[in-house]
Amino acid sequence: MPKTGDVVLISEQERDLLCALSYAHLACGQSAQSLALLRLAVSDNSQDVSLLRIFAYALIAEGLGDEALTILDRLDVLDDQQSSRVPLTLMRSHALLRARRMDEARAVFQSYVSLRSGTVLLKQT
């Protein structure tokens, strides 16, 4: 039984259900509901890459670009999968756009286009 002050973590099954429900809300255009669910599970020290990805997406959908950028910065450190670079770069450009940082958003989007072109060329050879 946890003591006062102990952090109670959700199980993997609970996390998966929460992510699925959040994703369904996002798909139906209900980003505020998705974000409310995700805030229940995401803590300041969360290192769950899958959960953080959906959380960043929900923040962007709700127009909370600055908060999404904080989560994307955390993902840059935690997510070492090469396959994540392209989608995270696109998400960053959208977060910068929502944060009204247009020049940075444009530059990051150009990086995304370059990364995507490089990925396409690698797959064709």
Q: Residue 4 — pLDDT band, cuts 50, 70, 90?
A: very low
* CA dist., res. 98 & res. 58, Å (int): 12
Residue 59: pLDDT band (50, 70, 90) is: very high
What is the pLDDT, as a whole number, of residue 58? 95
Give CA–CA dist 32/9, Å, rounded: 23
More confident residue, 4 or 23: 23
* For residue 121, pLDDT beyond 60: no
Residue 10 scores a pLDDT above 80: no
Q: What is the pLDDT of residue 119?
A: 61
